[in-house]
Structure 1
Amino acid sequence: MKLVNVLCLLNMTHIKCRNGVYLFSNIARLTVPDELVSWDQEWLDYNPPNYTSKGVFNKPWADPDLTDLDFKPKWNEQDGPVNRVSYTSCYKIENGYPLNPIGRTGLRGRGLLGKWGPNHAADPIVTRWKRDFKNSIVVDSDTSKPILQFCAIQRRDTKEWAIPGGMVDSGEKVSETLRREFQEEALNSLEATEEEKIKLNEMIADFFKNGQKIYEGYVDDPRNTDNSWMETVAYNFHDDCGTSVGKFPLQAGDDASKVQWMDISRNLNLYASHLNFIKMVCEKYSAHW
């Protein structure tokens, strides 16, 4: 099975984007039964509420409304600096609006998202082995497998723990986003002096050259709607010897309120589809899960 399809199948019924009231609003999603998520299933009277947050209007990083006659997006294409190509599949256009490729969410519009159609993010999964005071790798007593830790941030908005990722800026390479987001959220580079920023860049430059792609595709995100949705590229950056990443001066910044090394297990409650990404990393290293 192709990497791009794995998470789409896991989230085919939309768990986190059919969660009742939309984030930071009083707008209730229309309840969508599992069997009617797919657009292929006929639902003649499907008429969910339409909601786009006022916070995305007239922002330089956001699209205009589709009622704007001067706005003529190139769907499923590279549209100037804006990437409107889905990692998942070619999405359909209905009455001028892009349709979520995984199916109905019970809400039309853009919600909190800036772009119509796919909104691309990048997620750096930075890992190391958990070690004891003797610097030996810690093994779980039940599974007899070594325990991985990942660099986790607590989001300011939802208070959930997450991978320190973020949106890919228009015209930005994913590799640049991965480094930038980690520095802003886990190393607080936005508040660093120019001298400190240079040191941070030198410190992580080599480490971030050797990432391995874990996932590329659709994300079951609570911000998703019928017409706007999140997609991501997740890369793993692993410190096998514990000699580089463990020395990073972790400090929460930007969209993060806290940052820490977190033991990985199946019992974690993480934002959006992040637990699925973490599980893929554990399987890659045959680590405790």
Structure 2
Amino acid sequence: MSDHPIPATLRDWAVSWPTYAPVDVTPPELKPSALKREVPSWAEAAPTPADVTDWGRRQSAALIPYRRDAHGWPLHPAGRTGRTGRNLGRWGENAAADPIVIAGTGPQRQILLITRDDIHQEAIPGGMVDPGETAPAALVRELLEETHVDLSDHKPLILGRDLVDDWRQTDHAWVASTSALYVLPTTVTATADDDALDATWYPADSMASLETAISNRGRTLYSAHRPLISRALAELEKLQA
């Protein structure tokens, strides 16, 4: 997702790169001067990682282990991104929850996706875990907020806890998600709300059929969610074999 690709040989933080000059992508509302006036409801007040006081707790609770540099700034677990600053709510790991809802079997199988209002692409109806909230609770809440589908009485299959190639990530702030699979016998009514512009059931007997259906609607699948959906479909093949 990066607009500033890093050569594979230089991505690792252990590799010396004296001339490395990442681009600051911090939006105006998260600049230190703006945070002094008003802190957005979705963001922490710390203007830099040096102002964060609970790094020990954050690192011990992280889905994906990470380290900090000599100045105490968190370092993206996957290495350099070509971007610096913060375009997410928190410095370091931003925990997300992605509920993958699939209905039916075989050729009749369908997946519920939303159209995100920030990038206008088709995506899993997920979002950030709120402070003090558990990932299972966030899975249910995000799905309900964005699609009005209530699966609080369903127990999902946790598929994994992974780094997400989110378009907002930087060297010092990134997204790690808990993805979970919900399997329904048939589709249910879904209505877009909150951060979703639309909520749509798409054919999902394979990744190829899904992407074709999305393309036929003149839309694009959010690339960061492609591996999550692919894994869910592979797991379903095993479960429904």
* SS across alignment from 2:183: strand
Structure 1 pair 65–122 and aligned structure 2 pair: CA distance change class (3 A): same
State the distance in 2 between where 1:104 and 1:263 align.
Answer: 37
Q: Work out whether residues 76 and 91 of structure 1, in 8 Å CA contact, stay in contact via their aligned partners in 2.
A: no
State the distance in 2 between where 1:40 and 1:214 align.
Answer: 30
TM-score of the pair, normalised by structure 2: 0.82
- 1:190 counterpart residue number: none
Deviations 1:126-158 (A, max 9, x none): 11125xxxxxx53xxxxxxxx532111011111
State the distance in 1 between where 2:189 and 2:21 align.
Answer: 50
State the distance in 2 between where 1:227 and 1:68 align.
Answer: 8
- 1:266 counterpart residue number: 207
- Which of 138, 141, 165 is the equivalent residue of 1:177? 138
State the distance in 2 between where 1:253 and 1:85 align.
Answer: 30
For structure 2, the 5+ residue unaligned runs are: 212-219
After superposition, residues 215-234 of structure 1 pair within 5 angstroms as 215-234=160-179
- Which of 72, 96, 108 is the equivalent residue of 1:121? 96
TM-score of the pair, normalised by structure 1: 0.70
Residue 119 (structure 2) pairs with residue 158 (structure 1): yes
* SS across alignment from 1:224: coil
Deviations 1:224-277 (A, max 9, x none): 1000001110010101x33xxx2x321111111111111223342522421111
Structure exhibiting the larger radius of gyration computed from Cα positions: 1
* SS across alignment from 1:281: helix
State the distance in 2 between where 1:150 and 1:68 align.
Answer: 39
Residue 16 (structure 2) pairs with residue 35 (structure 1): no
- 1:8 counterpart residue number: none
C-alpha RMSD of the superposition = 2.4
After superposition, residues 1-289 of structure 1 pair within 5 angstroms as 16=1, 18=2, 20=3, 29=4, 31-56=5-30, 57=35, 58-67=39-48, 71-78=51-58, 85-110=61-86, 112-129=87-104, 137-138=106-107, 148-187=109-148, 204-207=151-154, 210-239=155-184, 241-242=185-186, 246=187, 248-264=188-204, 265-267=206-208, 268=211, 269-286=220-237
Q: Work out whether residues 91 and 99 of structure 1, in 8 Å CA contact, stay in contact via their aligned partners in 2.
A: yes
Query: Post-superposition shift, 1:93?
Result: 3.0
Query: Post-superposition shift, 1:67?
Result: 4.9
Q: Work out whether residues 154 and 256 of structure 1, in 8 Å CA contact, stay in contact via their aligned partners in 2.
A: yes
* SS across alignment from 1:88: coil
Which amino acid in the other structure matches residue 78 of structure 2?
I
Number of equivalent positions: 221
Query: Post-superposition shift, 1:90?
Result: 3.1
State the distance in 2 between where 1:157 and 1:90 align.
Answer: 28
Q: Work out whether residues 49 and 91 of structure 2, in 8 Å CA contact, stay in contact via their aligned partners in 1.
A: no
Structure 1 pair 153–216 and aligned structure 2 pair: CA distance change class (3 A): same
* SS across alignment from 2:111: strand
State the distance in 1 between where 2:173 and 2:49 align.
Answer: 17
Identity over aligned pairs, percent: 31
Q: Work out whether residues 220 and 230 of structure 1, in 8 Å CA contact, stay in contact via their aligned partners in 2.
A: yes
State the distance in 1 between where 2:228 and 2:116 align.
Answer: 17
Question: Hey, which bits of structure 1, 4+ residues long, moved more than 6 A?
Answer: none
Which amino acid in the other structure matches residue 59 of structure 1?
P
**Larger helix proportion, structure 1 or 2?**
2
